[in-house]
Chains A and B, each alone.
Chain A
Amino acid sequence: MDTSQAKDGCGGENSAVGIAKGVTEYEIPHGYGKDRIVALVRDPLWLFTYWEVTDTLLAQRESTAKERWPQGKTVLRIYQEPNKQYLFDLPVDLRARNWYVYVGRKDTSFRLALGRLLDDGTFIAFVESNLVTTPPGEVSELEDEKWMTLEELYRIYAGLPQGESSPLVFRAVNKLEMEISSPSYAASPMAERGLRKPFWLVAHTELVIYGQTEPDASVRIQGQPVTLQADGSFTARYVLPDGRLHLPIEAVSADLQEMISITPIITKTTQ
């Protein structure tokens, strides 16, 4: 898709895309009044999470903690699944509303909880997330007995010479960069080949010839017909090369009885 056309601007007569009538007073909601935390996988090592906790829920949880509440802190608790095994807590600001979490474990399932960690170690959960699983991020060690791996194919894939031992082959495959991501074509260095210089100037010279005659006459410039406007005026513009240019302008009356010729001679040099 072509996103290169205009810098960060919309088309049409208006710079904003109008939405249907009467909608303009609406804005996207800040929250939905629903207590929730959602986890998403970014890559084999990182998760993303966002949450919304309503005041009602907070007040209710606070009342269970009573006077111990102020000494506590808000944390994201990271569990490994299955069996909800505690991994670590990450102090967060409730108002941040989202967080990128480094879990550092490939091929592992996680569940997150947002809650209050009290100074006596009690954890009061506000909300718990969906289950997510990070991808393996490497070639599996699991062999399929019926479909034994043809290691030679992995060697070819990784572009290794013959005779490499198998751990090396799989390591090389794992290390292959995934740099040929396709959709980023528009944002690739191709885009930077253009005019990106600290200071620059481009100047071109064009020649504009304009004039007027009887509206029903015909006009030629260097033999080529020119279109006349309803009032008999005409305009022609040319890229002007360096050198000397003869430009005979001829007008012939509609009855072909009269002809007038004007010949500008233009010399252009660039220094």
Chain B
Amino acid sequence: MEQGFLSIILHTHLPFVRHPEHSSFLEEDWLFEAITESYIPLLNMLASLKLDQVHCRITMSLTPPLMSMLKDQLLMERYLKHLDSLIWLSEKEVSRTRFEPHLNRLALMYNQNFSATREDFLNKYHGDLIGAFRHFQEAGLIEIMASAATHGYLPLMIHPEALRAQIQIGIDYYTHVFGISPGGFWLPECAYTPGVDEYLADGGIRYFIMDSHGILHSKPRPRYAVYAPVYCPSGVAAFGRDWESSKQVWSAQEGYPGDWEYREFYRDIGHELDYEYLAPHLKGNIRHHTGIKYYRITGKTSAKQLYDPARAWEKAAIHAGNFMFNRQRQIEYIAGAMPDRKPIVVAPYDTELFGHWWYEGPQWLDCLIRKLHYDQDQVRLITPGDYLKMYPKNQVCTPSMSSWGYKGYNEVWLEGSNDWIYPHLHMMAERMTQLVDNHWSGDNLVTEAIKQAARELVLAQSSDWAFIMKTGTMVSYAVKRTEDHIVQFNRLYEQIQRGDIDREFLRDLQERDNIFPDLDPWVYSSNYRPKEVTLSG
């Protein structure tokens, strides 16, 4: 019989990047790489766990921008082109490395992986990865959480309507895609501020995840620290991240992904081989990652050694064993101090960590889930939703404002590089409510324009742009995206105000920024009242 529970949470998000106005666009590779390196390996892992009847309860978020892109025909066609180019490049690599056996084995590995990915994408998942995730939710291997409309950073929104809209649009989109109401809600960047839970409650949400200090600094002091949820005053449960299990995986210094046997992310042939040889595979005529990487981390040196997959996978198995051992000891201690219930250890990660950043991450996860199933019975995988069913009675506390960003609060998204966006985002939010309050009518063209204005607003609100501005790579893209959405919104606003809507301009925007085709702008109205929601379970 288990002594406690482990809840692994995979937050799955990418910003909405779709540029039909260009024949190819480098930033679309974010999606393509994540599909090849993280999403398909994860789906394959779930398929094999299911086949082997291994107990698996993973919680995932899938954000609306990501789901919209995975359902977008243009992007999925481009993904196949992208894969074909990689298959061709890897064939060239197999030939080029013929007289270097070690390199040649690696080139063959990539060639086989890319071909297998293509096969899986087309014939196993029929180009419908969201359908595949839905299947595993229905089969009970995963529980999918909803998330905000576009990963908006909620604590820095000052207009209740805008805050509510980010939440409600996300919930409605989830319901539309999965045909059921979501139980959990992933707060973008784990960013919470008191009151956010009210809107979650209005949308029928049962729980969300916070960083540790968000729970630990709750008022009153939580009885079980982070090892059990608390109920916010609104009745929505908040689960706190476990610091120890996070650090083992996340920490760049001490975490598993930094092991010297693992593949080196930053040595990619896209930056190393002859330019002309690579040219047919590069987008925008600049060098960029291709996904083909031949070296292992090796150590604190630039003289990298060739990657050895067998040794790396062995390491992943060892690390899975180590992680499990640590959770067993941790839960043993915690359970000893918790007389009246079993603890839950909540470990959230970005899905793209597994496979994209940490190449061996999917093996590690697969190994961990299997070991938990076969080798022990102290720790059991569970979702927060399962835990709430088991323990519906919880302490009521008000959690603290917090995020999982550097320093734990809002600074990553509010500092010198990105603070200029807020006067615009706030004005847009205010204007959005004005539009709905003053111009909402039966007129079709006006309705379309108001809907598009809402799309421009939510796209501008993605926390990704502020984050990129802060981290300093690809900054001009993030700035341009923010500026474009600001300009486009304000232009629509002025046209609607004047009663002079430029149809061609509107159509162009609808074609490009085509997220949320069914968006209902009424959620921005100052007269909006939440629907009656019946909580189940």
Contacts and interface: CB of A to CB of B under 8 A. Distances in A.
Interface of A: 1-23, 26-29, 32, 34, 38, 40-44, 48, 50, 52, 97-98, 130, 133-144, 146-150, 152-154, 156-157, 159, 173, 176, 178-191, 193-195, 197, 200, 202, 204, 206, 222, 224, 236-241, 245
A38 B423 contact: yes
Contacts of A38: 158, 422-423, 426
Residue of A16, A206, A239 contacting most chain B CB atoms (<10 Å):
A239
B30 A1 contact: yes
B148 to A, nearest CB: 15
B286 A4 contact: no
A202 B269 CA distance: 13
B340 to A, nearest CB: 9
A191 B412 contact: no
23 contacts: A5-B29, A7-B473, A12-B23, A18-B22, A22-B505, A23-B487, A26-B490, A40-B410, A42-B415, A43-B410, A98-B419, A147-B395, A159-B244, A176-B243, A178-B213, A180-B246, A182-B250, A182-B349, A185-B357, A188-B252, A190-B257, A200-B302, A239-B96
A186 B334 contact: no
A26 B226 contact: no
Given A42-B414, A184-B405, A194-B266, A11 B27 contact: yes
Residue of B21, B103, B483 contacting most chain A CB atoms (<10 Å):
B21
A6 B288 contact: yes
A183 B99 contact: no
A140 B405 contact: no
Contacts of B474: 3, 5-6, 8-10
Interface string B219-257: 111111111000000000000000110110011110001
Contacts of B442: none
Nearest to B14: A1
A135 B411 CA distance: 13
Residue of A27, A190, A245 contacting most chain B CB atoms (<10 Å):
A190
Nearest to B299: A193
B413 to A, nearest CB: 10
B167 to A, nearest CB: 19
Contacts of A16: 480
B22 A178 contact: no
A173 to B, nearest CB: 6
Interface stretch (B44-52, B71-79, B463-471, B520-528): B463-471
Contact of B96 (A18, A26, A195, A237): A237
Interface residues of B, number: 130
Contacts of B258: 190
B469 to A, nearest CB: 10
Contacts of B330: 156
B26 A156 contact: no
Interface string B15-26: 100010111111
A184 B471 contact: yes
Nearest to B157: A40
The 5 closest A-B pairs by CB, nearest first: A11-B26, A178-B408, A12-B22, A152-B337, A188-B252
B274 interface: yes
Nearest to B509: A20
Given A181-B407, A184-B412, A41 B155 contact: yes
A200 B258 CA distance: 24
Contacts of B300: 193
B366 to A, nearest CB: 21
Interface in B476-496: 476-477, 480-481, 483-484, 486-488, 490-491
Contact of A10 (B266, B284, B505): B284
Given A2-B33, A136-B217, A181 B405 contact: yes
B380 interface: no
B23 A13 contact: yes
Contacts of A28: 424, 483, 486-487
Contact of A23 (B23, B27, B491): B491
B137 to A, nearest CB: 24
Contact of B338 (A43, A150, A197): A150
A21 B504 CA distance: 9
Contacts of A133: 194, 401
Given A11-B25, A149-B222, A137 B505 contact: no
B421 to A, nearest CB: 10
A206 B92 CA distance: 13
Contact of A20 (B189, B224, B508): B508
B221 A149 contact: yes
Interface string B424-455: 10110000000000000000000000000000
A147 B228 CA distance: 12
B275 interface: no
A14 B357 CA distance: 28
Interface string B84-123: 0000000000011111100100000000000000000000
Given A7-B473, A38-B423, A135-B217, A12 B337 contact: no
B287 interface: yes
B315 interface: no
Contacts of B15: 1
A237 B92 CA distance: 9
